[in-house]
């Protein structure tokens, strides 16, 4: 099944070469602006605002102001992410507060896409997705595992559940402890993403999983994460160097543009 393309602001996920997303982090609005400018100069296609770097659970007005600051500084499409402690971030894990913040941010049009953690619970995920879609905001599902998982097939199952609950783009990131584990994770995530017919992001984290970031087109990912300063997850590459690798692989696979 061919994956349908999804437009996020001015870019399209699921068409052409995979896009580069640079996470933006900072403890003050000024730091966020500076990080957004660095991301733009590094050649990012879009930005992920990691709002949990600013506050574990910001007020909706504070979050919206941060989104505006990052958008103005970068001029790039924006994914809004509160990465909670459930998924390895610094954000407050209170599910009700998480749902309220994401829904309000989407309804206010502060972002082009919102990252929704499957770990918030299926009912909350579905409600956030509905609120985002009603506001014309794309939903990026996400699931993370920084330790070991019992079975690599679980990562594929997470993508399937995200799709069932309304995600437009599917994402799973799992720590890989060996090369063979990284390949197994990519295999199961690719199978699930292709079966759902939606753009997906399959990440094996850590040094053993770099193949999933650099050769992401070979495993079907629509997007990969690069750095322009601080990394937000293990194994991320500098955005400029990453683009050169993506261009080489895209050309070798017969791609254009």
Residues noted as catalytic: 144, 171
What does DSSP say about strands 78-81 and 113-117: parallel, antiparallel, or unpaired? Answer: parallel
Angle of helix 60-74 relative to helix 95-107, nearest 10 degrees? 50
Helices (H), the chain: 29-41, 60-74, 95-107, 122-134, 153-164, 179-196, 210-214, 239-252
**CA pair distance 160, 143, nearest whole angstrom:** 11
Computed on alpha carbons and rounded to an integer, the radius of gyration of the chain in Å comes to 17
Which structure tokens are listed for 205?
A: 């984290």
Helices (H), 4-59: 29-41
Residue corresponding to tokens 């955005």: 239
DSSP 8-state code for residue 232: S
Determine the Cα angle at 223 with ends 141 and 243, to 5°: 155
């Amino acid at each position: 099944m061919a994956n349908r393309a999804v437009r996020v602001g001015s870019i399209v996920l699921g068409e052409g070469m995979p896009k580069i997303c640079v996470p933006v982090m900072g403890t003050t609005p000024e730091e966020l602006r500076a990080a957004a400018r660095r991301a733009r100069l590094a050649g990012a296609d879009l930005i992920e605002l990691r709002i949990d770097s600013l506050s574990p659970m910001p007020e909706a007005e504070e979050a919206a102001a941060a989104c505006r600051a990052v958008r103005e500084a970068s001029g790039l499409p924006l994914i809004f992410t509160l990465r909670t402690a459930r998924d390895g971030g610094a954000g407050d894990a209170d599910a009700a507060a998480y749902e309220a913040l994401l829904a309000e941010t989407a309804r206010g049009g502060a972002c082009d896409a919102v990252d929704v953690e499957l770990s918030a619970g299926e009912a909350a995920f579905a409600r956030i997705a509905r609120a985002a879609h009603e506001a014309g905001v794309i939903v990026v599902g996400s699931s993370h595992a920084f330790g070991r998982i019992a079975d690599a097939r679980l990562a594929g199952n997470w993508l399937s559940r995200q799709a069932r609950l309304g995600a437009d783009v599917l994402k799973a990131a799992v720590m890989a402890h060996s090369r063979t584990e990284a390949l197994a994770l990519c295999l199961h995530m690719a199978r699930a993403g292709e079966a759902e017919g939606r753009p997906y992001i399959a990440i094996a984290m850590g040094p053993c999983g770099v193949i999933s970031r650099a050769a992401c087109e070979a495993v079907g990912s629509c997007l990969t994460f690069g750095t322009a300063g601080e990394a937000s997850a293990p194994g991320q590459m500098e955005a400029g160097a990453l683009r050169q690798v993506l261009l080489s692989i895209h050309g070798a696979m017969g791609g254009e543009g």
